[in-house]
Structure 1
Amino acid sequence: MADTYANYADLAAHNTLGQDYLLSSRIVAGARGANIAIHGGAIEYPTTQLADYCATALNSSFYSLQGVISSSNSALHISSNCFDEPGVSQVLRTAEWTVSWHGTSDSAVTTYLGGLDTELGTAIKERLAGAGFDVSPPPPEIDGKNPLNIANRNLRGLGVQLELSRGLRESFCLDTDSAQPSIAGAFRCTDVFHTYASAVVAAIAETWPRSRTAGGRSSEPEPAGPGMTGRVL
């Protein structure tokens, strides 16, 4: 289905910031990368919470646009190749790696892993598989291979796009009502959420330790962030 809005200016012209959608970001000094969710809130729930959890655990930068309309938040979806809200550019302008969190509408329980960062993508795939999660090759329309994809618009031009199926995302939430879109609102997550997010955190931490240089990995990877079990966003 075609997007309602061609870009952020189009969305902003027809919706009210703070009423229909929210923007959240944290730029962490010295952070090597960023976790982002441009279809957050109730657009593709709970991608905001996943990006925030992983960013906090890794002390990475964070960004999310969150749909908070009472219904039909899917209308706020802007294609990853066209997403140009200025705040995300500020977050990504110093990022060497990016993980971009998304959701699909199918009932399968899988992750479609795409993007141009094959090194980090492979590490995430291996960690997820090791934790018991299915990872599938993405169909072309969500493969994240376009250089204009927001996941790839960092310093290296390489990012990872995680497309989580609806069936998988539903296993992360104790609340069946996904109309709790705000990062500021309470989010009651399951142990599956923590297991999944911790696997992604571990993959990023081992691939991008703090001491890594542009030429390759450090021989002493930085440990993943705190377990944070039971954390409520």
Structure 2
Amino acid sequence: MRKARVAYQGNVFCAEECLEGLKLQDGRIISVDDVVWLPPVEVGTIFALGLNYADHASEISFKAPEEPLVFLKGKNALIGHNGQSRRPKDVELMHYECELAVIIGKKARNVTRMHANDYIAGYTVVNDYAIRDYLENYYRPNLPVKNRDGLTPIGPWFVNRDSINNPMNLTMRTYVNGEIKQEGNTKDMVFDIPYLIEYLSSFMTLNKNDVILTGTPKGTVNVVEGDEVVTEIEEVGSLKNTIVGDDVFSR
């Protein structure tokens, strides 16, 4: 069963997928076209991985890292399914990044790889757009690259951990205006999900609804105003987003 958070008629609801569309927590069944999609959980700390696919590292002329390259993202960057992300008028290179997001289910500290799965609540899809014009350091992206308001679509679904047969073998694809531009598989992560949970929890506490963005494979290309971008991950879902210009935001 896939779940979501949506806004409908002025209220926020938890909802679940059904044959007719969405079933709200109060029992009403509505169309998916009648809601505003929100991030599927009320997100805590967001951890993002840099260069966690060797093929992506090589396409930007870097070697795969010897230990996880982790940076933090603000919740302000998140936007739901069918949302709009702004491309500033002075930008020359803005690209998508299809990523599997891991949602932590309970407090985790000093967790071993063997027990890491016990601390996962589920998964969702993230499109972690990057604005390369503002990049100063590939290994530690500065804030304007990935933290701009509404720059990071997430969702639409929260998929329970036990609904995914093997999170380390999921096909990932990105389409721009209906044309496939990126394809990869989670099996090609440099550092897999159990390792990342072990690594992060070894020096800090992970809490419920913290989110780990696990990186993107090769195939990232520039997107421009008007582009419709769909990032999808097998068994998890498809996340749609549109690139808009400054005028939409009166800038």
Tell me, yes or no, whether TM beats 0.5. Answer: no
Which of 1 and 2 has greater Rg?
2
Higher relative contact order (CA 8 A, sep 6+): 2
Give the structure with the larger helix fraction. Answer: 1
Give the structure with the larger strand fraction. Answer: 2
- Tell me the TM-score normalised to structure 2 length: 0.29
